[in-house]
């Protein structure tokens, strides 16, 4: 009886060793997409009133956890029974990411025309602020969902030959790291200015703390702007990578080019094609309504 009990512990220990080793390998494989995830979500989580930054970020984080809870069981089932559907979902997600990146680039050169509604110069009301927050949170959670699908599928591909138990444990660990790690770093970034102001207040207007606090306050807008640019590039790279790895035509095109340039260009082309189709369909619907 005792020997059987200790044998069970040996099996559990061996399983945990396998899970730890595979988790390390899988995390390395997904490091690139996690970096893209950080850049995209830091840009998405910025731009709120200081007192609302952490509540909004917490709402996005909860949405991200819910995304993983939805994606993980579906990914395991699809991988086991209809693996081709996983590729279709990835490609559809890639088109959305490319579209979102193309829309951001388009808006830099062709800003939105002001709507017919009167825009007040006064401070937005509480209800208007909450409405803006809801829209940004929904957009961030949707983008997180697509990036999460990519992370889960890449992680699953690394352990596809392992037992189902190992697959579930390893991919779940990577999914948790993706959420806690990414949004933990995002929280630090968006609170940079508050930390800087506290350091300035505690410094009596001189010394290292004063200089460092001032640097943090002044650096935040530059960091956010930089992350916005990096986030847009990341959207294109992730999308282009999805197309290059899952569609033969894109896989064999520009074969002699560096993969990062090739994937970015593919993402840009598909993104602007998707944006063009979207705008044409939108105009068509408007014409039909009239």
Please tell me the distance from the alpha carbon of residue 102 to that of residue 272, in angstroms, as a whole number: 5
Asked if pLDDT for residue 5 goes beyond 50, the answer is no
Looking at beta carbons, which pairs linking 187-191 to residues 24 or more positions away fall under 8 Å?
Answer: 187/54, 187/57, 189/42, 189/46, 189/220, 189/223, 189/224, 189/227, 190/42, 190/45, 190/46, 190/48, 190/53, 190/54, 190/57, 191/53, 191/54
For residues 19 and 169, the answer to whether their CB atoms sit within 8 Å is: yes
Asked if pLDDT for residue 75 goes beyond 60, the answer is yes
Residue-wise pLDDT for 136-192, tens only, equals: 888 888 888 877 887 887 777 667 667 777 778 888 888 888 788 778 877 777 777
For residues 148 and 178, the answer to whether their CB atoms sit within 8 Å is: yes
* pTM for the structure as a whole: 0.68
- Residues with Cβ within 8 Å of 282's Cβ and at least 6 positions away in sequence, in order, are none
Residue-wise pLDDT for 223-242, tens only, equals: 777 777 877 887 788 788 88
The pLDDT value recorded for residue 280 is 94
Confidence of residue 279 (pLDDT cuts 50, 70, 90): very high
Q: What percent of the chain has pLDDT over 70?
A: 76
Locate all alpha helices (DSSP H) within 30-163, ordered by sequence. Answer: 31-44, 50-81, 83-109, 126-158
Residue-wise pLDDT for 56-72, tens only, equals: 888 888 888 898 888 88
Among 131-140, 249-258, 272-281, top mean pLDDT goes to: 272-281
The pLDDT value recorded for residue 19 is 60
Q: Provide the number of structural domains found in the chain.
A: 1
Residue-wise pLDDT for 95-119, tens only, equals: 888 898 899 889 888 876 554 444 4
Alpha-carbon distances of 51 from 129, 194, 195, 215, 221, rounded to whole Å: 12, 10, 13, 21, 17
The pLDDT value recorded for residue 1 is 47
Q: Which domain holds residue 216?
A: 2-117+124-289
Q: Which of 25-34, 79-88, 142-151, 167-176 has the lowest mean pLDDT?
A: 25-34
Asked if pLDDT for residue 7 goes beyond 50, the answer is no
Asked if pLDDT for residue 244 goes beyond 80, the answer is yes
For residues 68 and 175, the answer to whether their CB atoms sit within 8 Å is: yes
């Amino acid at each position: 009886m005792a020997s059987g009990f200790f044998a069970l512990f040996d099996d559990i220990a061996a399983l945990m060793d396998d899970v730890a080793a595979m988790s390390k390998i899988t995390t390395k494989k997904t490091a690139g997409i996690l970096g893209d995830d950080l850049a995209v979500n830091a840009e998405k989580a910025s731009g709120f009133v200081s007192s609302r930054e952490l509540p909004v970020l917490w709402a996005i984080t909860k949405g991200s956890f819910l995304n993983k809870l939805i994606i993980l069981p579906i990914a395991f089932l699809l991988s086991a029974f209809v693996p081709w559907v996983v590729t279709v979902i990835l490609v559809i997600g890639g088109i959305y990411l490319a579209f979102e990146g193309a829309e951001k680039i388009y808006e830099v050169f062709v800003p939105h025309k002001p709507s017919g509604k009167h825009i007040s110069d006064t401070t937005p009301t509480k209800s208007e602020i909450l409405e803006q927050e809801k829209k940004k949170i929904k957009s961030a959670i949707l983008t997180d969902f697509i990036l999460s699908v990519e992370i889960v599928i890449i992680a699953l591909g690394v352990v596809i030959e392992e037992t189902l138990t190992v697959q579930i444990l390893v991919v779940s660990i990577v999914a948790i790291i993706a959420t806690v790690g990414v949004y933990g770093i995002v929280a630090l970034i968006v609170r940079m200015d508050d930390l800087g102001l506290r350091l300035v207040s505690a410094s009596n207007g001189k010394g290292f703390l004063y200089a460092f606090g001032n640097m943090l306050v002044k650096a935040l807008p530059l960091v956010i702007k930089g992350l916005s640019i990096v986030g847009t590039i990341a959207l294109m790279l992730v999308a282009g990578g999805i197309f290059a790895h899952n569609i033969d035509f894109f896989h064999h095109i520009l074969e002699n080019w560096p993969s990062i340039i090739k994937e970015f260009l593919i993402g840009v082309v598909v993104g602007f094609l998707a944006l063009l189709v979207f705008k044409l369909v939108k105009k068509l619907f408007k014409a039909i309504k009239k």
